[in-house]
Copies of this chain bind each other. A is one copy, B any other.
Amino acid sequence: MAPNPATSDTAAPDAFAPDTAAPPDATPDAPARALTRECIAAAALRVLARDGLAGLSMRKVAAEVGVKAASLYWHVRNKEELLDLLNDALVAGAELPPRTGDWRAQYLEYGRRYRALLLATRDAARIVAGRLATGPHILAVLEDQLDRLRGAGFTDADAAMASYLLSAYVQGFVLQEQSPLSAAEAAGATRGEAARAAGEVFRTLPAETHPNLVALAADLTDPDMDARFEFGLHRLADGLAALLPTPRPAPGREPR
Protein backbone atom coordinates (compact mmCIF):
# COMPACT_ATOMS: atom_id res chain seq x y z
CA MET A 1 0.00 0.00 0.00
CA ALA A 2 1.46 3.31 -1.03
CA PRO A 3 1.63 6.12 1.51
CA ASN A 4 -1.45 8.17 0.84
CA PRO A 5 -1.64 11.67 2.34
CA ALA A 6 -5.17 12.23 1.09
CA THR A 7 -6.91 11.09 4.21
CA SER A 8 -8.17 13.36 6.96
CA ASP A 9 -8.50 16.65 5.13
CA THR A 10 -11.53 15.60 3.12
CA ALA A 11 -13.98 17.33 5.44
CA ALA A 12 -11.67 20.04 6.66
CA PRO A 13 -12.51 23.52 5.43
CA ASP A 14 -9.16 24.10 3.83
CA ALA A 15 -8.59 26.68 1.14
CA PHE A 16 -11.57 28.67 2.31
CA ALA A 17 -10.74 32.04 0.91
CA PRO A 18 -14.25 33.12 -0.06
CA ASP A 19 -13.96 33.11 -3.82
CA THR A 20 -10.40 33.91 -4.84
CA ALA A 21 -9.14 30.76 -6.50
CA ALA A 22 -5.67 31.15 -5.06
CA PRO A 23 -3.04 28.58 -6.05
CA PRO A 24 -1.66 27.61 -2.63
CA ASP A 25 1.61 25.67 -2.91
CA ALA A 26 3.32 26.84 0.28
CA THR A 27 6.59 25.00 -0.31
CA PRO A 28 9.15 27.45 -1.73
CA ASP A 29 11.36 25.69 -4.28
CA ALA A 30 9.07 22.79 -5.19
CA PRO A 31 8.87 21.86 -8.89
CA ALA A 32 5.57 23.79 -8.75
CA ARG A 33 4.23 21.07 -10.98
CA ALA A 34 2.58 18.94 -8.33
CA LEU A 35 -1.01 18.11 -8.99
CA THR A 36 -3.52 19.65 -6.60
CA ARG A 37 -6.85 18.21 -5.58
CA GLU A 38 -8.52 21.37 -6.85
CA CYS A 39 -6.96 20.79 -10.22
CA ILE A 40 -8.18 17.21 -10.27
CA ALA A 41 -11.68 18.28 -9.29
CA ALA A 42 -11.73 20.87 -12.08
CA ALA A 43 -10.62 18.26 -14.59
CA ALA A 44 -13.29 15.86 -13.37
CA LEU A 45 -15.86 18.60 -13.81
CA ARG A 46 -14.79 19.07 -17.41
CA VAL A 47 -14.97 15.34 -18.13
CA LEU A 48 -18.39 15.19 -16.50
CA ALA A 49 -19.73 18.04 -18.60
CA ARG A 50 -18.35 16.41 -21.74
CA ASP A 51 -19.04 12.70 -21.23
CA GLY A 52 -21.56 12.47 -18.43
CA LEU A 53 -21.35 10.36 -15.30
CA ALA A 54 -21.16 7.11 -17.23
CA GLY A 55 -18.12 8.40 -19.08
CA LEU A 56 -16.36 9.73 -16.01
CA SER A 57 -13.48 7.31 -15.49
CA MET A 58 -10.31 7.66 -13.50
CA ARG A 59 -8.36 7.12 -16.69
CA LYS A 60 -10.10 9.98 -18.48
CA VAL A 61 -9.75 12.38 -15.59
CA ALA A 62 -6.08 11.52 -15.42
CA ALA A 63 -5.65 12.12 -19.13
CA GLU A 64 -7.51 15.42 -18.83
CA VAL A 65 -4.97 16.60 -16.32
CA GLY A 66 -2.02 15.16 -18.25
CA VAL A 67 -1.10 12.24 -16.06
CA LYS A 68 -1.59 8.48 -15.81
CA ALA A 69 -4.52 6.93 -13.98
CA ALA A 70 -2.42 5.42 -11.24
CA SER A 71 -1.12 8.85 -10.31
CA LEU A 72 -4.53 10.00 -9.15
CA TYR A 73 -4.38 7.54 -6.31
CA TRP A 74 -1.69 9.58 -4.70
CA HIS A 75 -4.08 12.51 -4.26
CA VAL A 76 -7.32 10.65 -3.80
CA ARG A 77 -8.15 7.49 -1.94
CA ASN A 78 -10.47 6.11 -4.63
CA LYS A 79 -13.08 7.15 -7.15
CA GLU A 80 -15.66 7.71 -4.44
CA GLU A 81 -13.47 10.37 -2.90
CA LEU A 82 -12.97 11.96 -6.30
CA LEU A 83 -16.74 12.22 -6.57
CA ASP A 84 -16.82 13.95 -3.20
CA LEU A 85 -14.37 16.47 -4.57
CA LEU A 86 -16.49 16.87 -7.66
CA ASN A 87 -19.55 17.39 -5.50
CA ASP A 88 -18.03 20.38 -3.76
CA ALA A 89 -16.65 21.72 -7.02
CA LEU A 90 -20.16 21.71 -8.45
CA VAL A 91 -21.49 23.77 -5.56
CA ALA A 92 -18.58 26.17 -5.90
CA GLY A 93 -20.41 27.79 -8.78
CA ALA A 94 -23.42 28.69 -6.66
CA GLU A 95 -24.50 32.28 -6.27
CA LEU A 96 -26.48 33.12 -3.15
CA PRO A 97 -29.81 34.86 -3.72
CA PRO A 98 -30.04 38.50 -2.65
CA ARG A 99 -31.32 39.21 0.84
CA THR A 100 -34.37 41.04 -0.38
CA GLY A 101 -37.99 40.23 0.35
CA ASP A 102 -39.26 38.03 3.16
CA TRP A 103 -37.88 34.63 4.09
CA ARG A 104 -40.38 32.94 1.79
CA ALA A 105 -39.16 34.75 -1.30
CA GLN A 106 -35.59 33.95 -0.39
CA TYR A 107 -36.40 30.32 0.30
CA LEU A 108 -38.08 29.99 -3.08
CA GLU A 109 -35.17 31.67 -4.78
CA TYR A 110 -32.76 29.35 -3.03
CA GLY A 111 -34.63 26.39 -4.43
CA ARG A 112 -34.72 27.84 -7.93
CA ARG A 113 -31.02 28.59 -7.99
CA TYR A 114 -30.13 25.22 -6.64
CA ARG A 115 -32.18 23.57 -9.36
CA ALA A 116 -30.62 25.78 -12.01
CA LEU A 117 -27.17 24.94 -10.74
CA LEU A 118 -27.83 21.21 -10.96
CA LEU A 119 -29.42 21.51 -14.38
CA ALA A 120 -26.44 23.43 -15.68
CA THR A 121 -24.10 20.45 -15.48
CA ARG A 122 -24.84 17.10 -16.97
CA ASP A 123 -25.71 14.44 -14.38
CA ALA A 124 -25.01 16.88 -11.57
CA ALA A 125 -28.03 15.71 -9.59
CA ARG A 126 -26.87 12.13 -9.67
CA ILE A 127 -23.56 13.15 -8.15
CA VAL A 128 -24.93 15.49 -5.54
CA ALA A 129 -27.92 13.39 -4.53
CA GLY A 130 -26.42 10.67 -2.36
CA ARG A 131 -23.55 12.64 -0.96
CA LEU A 132 -23.44 14.51 2.34
CA ALA A 133 -19.76 15.29 2.06
CA THR A 134 -18.97 18.54 3.80
CA GLY A 135 -16.75 20.41 1.39
CA PRO A 136 -15.99 24.05 2.06
CA HIS A 137 -18.31 25.46 -0.58
CA ILE A 138 -21.21 23.36 0.61
CA LEU A 139 -20.63 24.50 4.17
CA ALA A 140 -20.66 28.12 3.09
CA VAL A 141 -24.03 27.78 1.39
CA LEU A 142 -25.50 25.90 4.30
CA GLU A 143 -24.28 28.51 6.74
CA ASP A 144 -25.94 31.29 4.79
CA GLN A 145 -29.19 29.42 4.38
CA LEU A 146 -29.46 28.61 8.07
CA ASP A 147 -28.76 32.20 8.95
CA ARG A 148 -31.72 33.39 6.92
CA LEU A 149 -34.08 30.78 8.29
CA ARG A 150 -33.19 31.51 11.89
CA GLY A 151 -33.50 35.20 11.20
CA ALA A 152 -37.01 34.56 9.90
CA GLY A 153 -38.05 33.14 13.26
CA PHE A 154 -37.72 29.42 12.77
CA THR A 155 -36.51 27.41 15.72
CA ASP A 156 -33.08 25.84 15.45
CA ALA A 157 -34.55 22.42 14.80
CA ASP A 158 -37.04 23.73 12.24
CA ALA A 159 -34.36 25.70 10.43
CA ALA A 160 -32.20 22.61 10.15
CA MET A 161 -35.18 20.60 8.91
CA ALA A 162 -36.27 23.25 6.43
CA SER A 163 -32.81 23.32 4.93
CA TYR A 164 -32.64 19.55 4.64
CA LEU A 165 -36.15 19.47 3.22
CA LEU A 166 -35.31 21.88 0.46
CA SER A 167 -32.26 19.99 -0.67
CA ALA A 168 -34.09 16.66 -0.60
CA TYR A 169 -36.86 18.07 -2.75
CA VAL A 170 -34.64 19.84 -5.25
CA GLN A 171 -32.33 16.91 -5.62
CA GLY A 172 -35.20 14.46 -6.00
CA PHE A 173 -36.88 16.69 -8.53
CA VAL A 174 -33.86 17.39 -10.70
CA LEU A 175 -32.87 13.77 -10.58
CA GLN A 176 -36.11 12.88 -12.30
CA GLU A 177 -35.81 15.82 -14.60
CA GLN A 178 -32.25 15.17 -15.64
CA SER A 179 -32.35 11.43 -16.07
CA PRO A 180 -33.52 9.59 -19.13
CA LEU A 181 -37.21 8.93 -18.90
CA SER A 182 -36.70 5.32 -19.78
CA ALA A 183 -34.36 3.03 -21.61
CA ALA A 184 -36.34 3.68 -24.77
CA GLU A 185 -35.90 7.40 -24.41
CA ALA A 186 -32.18 7.08 -23.78
CA ALA A 187 -31.86 6.20 -27.44
CA GLY A 188 -32.26 9.74 -28.74
CA ALA A 189 -35.57 11.49 -28.21
CA THR A 190 -36.26 14.97 -26.93
CA ARG A 191 -38.07 15.45 -23.66
CA GLY A 192 -41.14 16.72 -25.45
CA GLU A 193 -41.32 13.62 -27.60
CA ALA A 194 -40.80 11.37 -24.61
CA ALA A 195 -43.53 13.18 -22.70
CA ARG A 196 -45.88 12.81 -25.62
CA ALA A 197 -45.06 9.14 -25.88
CA ALA A 198 -45.65 8.64 -22.16
CA GLY A 199 -48.94 10.49 -22.46
CA GLU A 200 -49.90 8.16 -25.26
CA VAL A 201 -49.19 5.18 -23.01
CA PHE A 202 -51.47 6.59 -20.32
CA ARG A 203 -54.20 7.61 -22.71
CA THR A 204 -54.43 4.21 -24.35
CA LEU A 205 -54.63 2.19 -21.14
CA PRO A 206 -57.85 0.24 -20.58
CA ALA A 207 -60.29 2.71 -19.08
CA GLU A 208 -61.87 0.05 -16.86
CA THR A 209 -58.70 -0.61 -14.91
CA HIS A 210 -57.00 2.79 -15.17
CA PRO A 211 -59.66 5.49 -15.49
CA ASN A 212 -57.61 8.13 -13.67
CA LEU A 213 -54.47 7.61 -15.69
CA VAL A 214 -56.48 7.89 -18.87
CA ALA A 215 -58.21 11.04 -17.69
CA LEU A 216 -55.07 12.73 -16.35
CA ALA A 217 -52.75 11.65 -19.14
CA ALA A 218 -52.14 15.23 -20.21
CA ASP A 219 -51.63 16.55 -16.69
CA LEU A 220 -49.25 13.75 -15.77
CA THR A 221 -47.03 14.28 -18.77
CA ASP A 222 -47.02 18.05 -18.97
CA PRO A 223 -43.50 18.84 -20.12
CA ASP A 224 -43.41 22.22 -18.39
CA MET A 225 -40.97 21.24 -15.67
CA ASP A 226 -40.58 24.80 -14.44
CA ALA A 227 -44.24 24.93 -13.48
CA ARG A 228 -44.01 21.52 -11.89
CA PHE A 229 -41.03 22.58 -9.84
CA GLU A 230 -42.67 25.80 -8.75
CA PHE A 231 -45.73 23.92 -7.62
CA GLY A 232 -43.79 21.73 -5.23
CA LEU A 233 -41.64 24.59 -4.05
CA HIS A 234 -44.67 26.67 -3.13
CA ARG A 235 -46.23 23.74 -1.28
CA LEU A 236 -43.05 23.40 0.76
CA ALA A 237 -42.94 27.10 1.55
CA ASP A 238 -46.62 27.10 2.53
CA GLY A 239 -46.08 24.13 4.79
CA LEU A 240 -43.13 25.81 6.45
CA ALA A 241 -44.99 29.09 6.82
CA ALA A 242 -47.55 27.32 8.98
CA LEU A 243 -44.78 26.70 11.52
CA LEU A 244 -44.14 30.38 12.16
CA PRO A 245 -46.05 32.18 14.91
CA THR A 246 -47.11 35.15 12.74
CA PRO A 247 -48.53 34.20 9.37
CA ARG A 248 -49.36 37.75 8.21
CA PRO A 249 -52.87 37.22 6.82
CA ALA A 250 -52.99 33.41 6.43
CA PRO A 251 -51.17 30.95 4.24
CA GLY A 252 -52.86 29.66 1.17
CA ARG A 253 -54.18 32.70 -0.59
CA GLU A 254 -53.37 32.76 -4.25
CA PRO A 255 -54.03 29.02 -4.64
CA ARG A 256 -52.18 28.67 -7.93
Q: Which residue of B lies closest to A219 (CB)?
A: B160
A36-44, A55-63, A94-102, A226-234 - interface stretch:
A226-234
Give the interface size bracket for A toward B: 35 or more
B242 touches A156 (CB 8 A): no
Q: Check: A133 CB closer than 8 A to any chain B CB.
A: yes
Contact code string A153-169 (vs B, CB < 8 Å = 1, else 0): 00011011101110111
Q: Is the interface of A mostly helix, strand, loop or mixed?
A: helix
A15 CB contacts on chain B under 8 angstroms: none
Q: Is A161 touching B228 in the complex (CB atoms < 8 A)?
A: yes
Residue from B16, B83, B216 within 8 A of A146 (CB atoms): B216
Which B residue sits closest to A160, measured CB to CB? B219
Q: Is the CB of B232 within 8 A of A238?
A: no
Residues of B within 8 A of A220 (CB): 142, 160, 163-164
Within 8 A of B (CB), among A204-238: 205-206, 209-213, 215-216, 219-220, 222, 228, 231-232, 234-238
**A14 proximal to B (CB < 8 A):** no
Q: Is the CB of A176 within 8 A of B213?
A: no
Q: Among B134, B165, B180, which residue has its beta carbon within 8 angstroms of that of A198?
A: B134
Q: Which of B78, B163, B241 contacts A183 (CB 8 A)?
A: B78
A172 proximal to B (CB < 8 A): yes
Query: Does A250 touch B at the CB level, under 8 Å?
Result: yes
- A89 → chain B closest CB, angstroms: 15
Known: A80-B186, A132-B182, A156-B215. A139 touches B205 (CB 8 A): yes
How far apart sit A146 and B13, CA to CA, in the bound complex (Å)? 46
Known contacts A80-B186, A132-B182; 19 additional CB pairs below 8 A are A11-B184, A11-B198, A125-B130, A129-B179, A131-B182, A143-B212, A146-B213, A156-B216, A156-B219, A157-B222, A159-B216, A160-B222, A161-B219, A168-B175, A168-B232, A169-B172, A237-B239, A241-B252, A243-B255
